[in-house]
Amino acid sequence: MKNLNSAGNGNRKLFFALRIFCTVALGVSLLCLLAVVAYVLINGVTKISGDLLFGDYSVSPSILPAIIGTLQLVGISILIAVPIGVASAIFLVEYTNNKGRLMRVIQVATETLAGIPSIVYGLFGYLIFVVAFGWGYSMLGGGITLAIMILPTIVRSTQESLVAVQGGLREGAYALGASKVRTIFKIVLPSAAGGIVTAIILAIGRVVSESAVLILTIGMVVKDIPASLMSPGTSLALDIYYFASHGYPDEAAATAVVLLVFVICLNLLAGALGKIIKKSTGETK
């Protein structure tokens, strides 16, 4: 701070140069990121074909098994992670007062879970589902592993939307004679529903994007549509890796377009929903 007073002209020039550097950095960042998106789209769009999307793999490479596999994984992981995650957030927000030791331990555990690399989740899924349970590579094992992986995200964002619910609403419900559980289900959860749904959409995005976990848990079997949840399979992200590393560059490019469009749509949906919620809650205030 003492430099401010003694700031000479040279000093000012230095800071102006820094400002120019900032603008350059902004340009570089945008250019890099847009280059990735543009490359994937331009390179891949022309290579999408009906055969690739819905064809029979025994005839030509197809991503139909991957599409079905991805949907199964999303279904399994969301069905498991959302109830546990939301209930866990309810306990943390509604039943504890931020200071308890249990609360702290749970918070630390959630943060640690969030920091574990996905390949380590993959190893864990492999050890427990493939080896210890003897399921072999299975969609169910992969889905459960993914559920544990997205749990911290869901807990954290649900917690935020629950905290954002005004205290007055809860007190009003109690004053009318509602019990705690009834207040939670009839008042608090509906008010926080928008935020929770946004969190779920973002979690779906993570499940769809994930691939390292799945190599170790569902086995990257690209040819067959999984017969049941206990069969091995593949996902869109895994297919990109498979195609790219096994000499099918065109198929990899086309699959990348499908995945990218899907993920971007999910994110836009979450963003739009967030805006609608902000508006509607803004009006009630």
Partner 1 sequence: MYKFINAREKVMKGVFLFSAIFSILALVVITVFLFASGVPFIAKTGVFKFLFGTTWAPTIDNPLYGILPMIVATLYVTAFSVVLGVGIGLFTAIALYKFCPKKFVAPVRQMINLLAGIPSVIFGLFGMTIIVPFVGNYLSPTGVGYGIFSASLVLAVMILPTIVSVSLDALNAVPNSYYEGALALGATKEQATFKIMLPAAKSGIFAGVVLAIGRTIGETMAVIMVIGGSPEMPNGLFKSVRTLTSNIAMGALELKGDALSALIATGVVLFVFTLILNVSFALLKKEKKEKTKRSAKNEKS
- Regarding 43 and contact with partner 1 (CB under 8 A), the answer is yes
Read off the amino acid at residue 176: L
Tokens standing for residue 59: 């005839």
- Regarding 172 and contact with partner 1 (CB under 8 A), the answer is no
Q: Which is nearer to partner 1, 2 or 59 (CB)?
A: 2
Question: In whole angstroms, how close is the CB of 203 to partner 1 at the nearest point?
Answer: 12
Site residue total, partner 1 (CB under 8 A): 97
Question: In whole angstroms, how close is the CB of 267 to partner 1 at the nearest point?
Answer: 5
DSSP labels for 8-61? -HHHHHHHHHHHHHHHHHHHHHHHHHHHHHHHHHHHHHTT--HHHHHS-TTTS-
Question: In whole angstroms, how close is the CB of 155 to partner 1 at the nearest point?
Answer: 7
Question: How far is 13 from 35, CA to CA, in rounded Å?
Answer: 33
Among 21, 45, 79, 136, contact with partner 1 (rule: CB under 8 A) = 21
Among 53, 113, 189, 273, contact with partner 1 (rule: CB under 8 A) = 113
Q: Which is nearer to partner 1, 227 or 264 (CB)?
A: 264
Q: Which is nearer to partner 1, 105 or 230 (CB)?
A: 105
- Regarding 23 and contact with partner 1 (CB under 8 A), the answer is yes
Window 244 to 273, contacts with partner 1 (CB under 8 A): 244-245, 249, 252-253, 256, 259-260, 263-264, 266-268, 271
Among 53, 64, 123, 277, contact with partner 1 (rule: CB under 8 A) = 123
Q: Which is nearer to partner 1, 79 or 268 (CB)?
A: 268
Taking a C-beta distance cutoff of 8 angstroms, is the pair 248, 239 a contact? no
- Regarding 25 and contact with partner 1 (CB under 8 A), the answer is yes
Nearest CA among 217, 213, 210, 69 for reference residue 129: 217
Tokens 């943060």 correspond to 111
Alpha helices in 91-166 (DSSP H): 101-115, 118-125, 139-163
Among 108, 176, 230, 276, contact with partner 1 (rule: CB under 8 A) = 108
Which range, of 49-57, 161-169, 173-181, 189-197, touches partner 1 by CB under 8 A?
173-181
* Residue 247 φ/ψ region, left for φ over 0, alpha for ψ in the -120 to 50 degree band, beta for the rest: left
Tokens 């091995």 correspond to 232
Tokens standing for residue 150: 């997205």
